Structure 1
Amino acid sequence: MTEIISKFIIKTLCDNQGSLDFKRLDEKIGQSFTVATEVLRSVLFDDGKIAIQEGRQKLVGGQIISPDSLVVVKTNLRICQEKPGDCTQCDGLHLCRYFVCGECTFGHKCKNPHSLTSPYNAALLRRYGLHDLTERQLFQLLLQNDPYLLPEICPHYNKGNGPYGCCKFTTSCTKLHVCQHYLQGDCKFGSSCKRAHKIDAHGTKIFNGFSQENIKNLHEIYRNKFIITGQRERRCIS
């Protein structure tokens, strides 16, 4: 039963941009299963598959976590960064990164693999217990977990008072110039923040190979990533 519920939760989270608050997740589980508390607890606190951002609402009536806690799906599976033919032995999927990000412009002419059903990838997905996921579900999972896929946020842009923070590369910077606290979901300045809360034209170029849908959902993808990695920095005065 535990494995069945675990797979259901992973698929459900992947179908909902990688995360759900516990209240909505619990409702979805209840529509299909009657789950013992100890089973649900063991699934939710499986650190290899689930990350939880604790909510602020109080626990009521033996609840496992507060209803507004954000439940995020995670995995240790990564994409191999070697060029095709150069990898002799690894534990990563042999896939084109732009295929995963949603928009490989080379299509069937791409030199990098686009197949999840190759013997190597199929065996690896089975070993990680992810062979039942659809392509869309798997790519959502990888996007918010594999640091190789998402552009890094410029730490220098998020410091200093200039229009580019203290980033010396200004418009030629290869990292993302966006408010890190906004992407983490904890910017206290809101619309009055002097850091960008939107991806500008320069930022869009950095996301070459990303589908429009994934660009639209970048806030959720990055927020989930920060929750998973625990890289939520202490707030600083902007």
Structure 2
Amino acid sequence: MKAAQSGERGGNGAWIRRFHPAPEARTRLVCFPHAGGSATFFHPVSQAMSPAVDVLAIQYPGRQDRRSEPCVDDIEKLAELVVPELRAWTDRPVAMFGHSMGASLAFEVARRLEQEGVTATGLFVSGRRAPTAFRDERVHLADDDRIITELKRMSGTDAAVLGDEEILRMILPAVRADYRAAETYRYTPGPDVSCPIIAMTGDDDAQVTLDEARMWADHTSGGFNLHVYEGGHFFLTAHAAAVMKVMTDHIESRSPVRD
């Protein structure tokens, strides 16, 4: 199979962003954004890991250049939509990284791909409790002001956006849909994954306890590791280099040897 061209292969290119194409890389890393996030959140990751790793970032509908498209407010449906877009990119080993809502989505995508015979080399789940660690959360039912307050509390949105009321109001439909997807997600018992799961969490993250993060071990037969960092829900902003080293080390250990 030919090497993928930037943003073009695998459907109409709307779902996948490939900021720094690395056609010679032995492994791909697919990144799934958090609630309210977009593919551009992973531009620095792509820049740092290329050309050793070919980084793809998923762009959900309802934001940035997909703003005119209806939002998808269901994790299972999102997974069903993403899987066909990724099939054409599985000509080499694929690892996955998801933060917060993106971790749940990455897990569901990995489950589905494995049922098709494509097993990820690793599943990195960041800032998200395990699928069976249920919490009854209802932020998606709150009014706009409450959702804005939640965004500011989590500090996952660019500071310039948080200070611009007009832009905030513009992105709220996508944020609300993402919160609904994350908060209404329910684990469906069945085959999990056989790839290693590497969980990452902040030691002061109100969204994830250490016990809830450890429960990811129950969802793989391929080994589990937990990395704990100082900080809250977006600990990875302050620890980007350390997080990327964990991913790079694992990816390199699982990459095929060149001829």
TM-score, normalisation: structure 1: 0.28
Greater gyration radius: 1
Is the strand fraction higher in 1 or 2? 2
TM-score by structure 2 length? 0.27
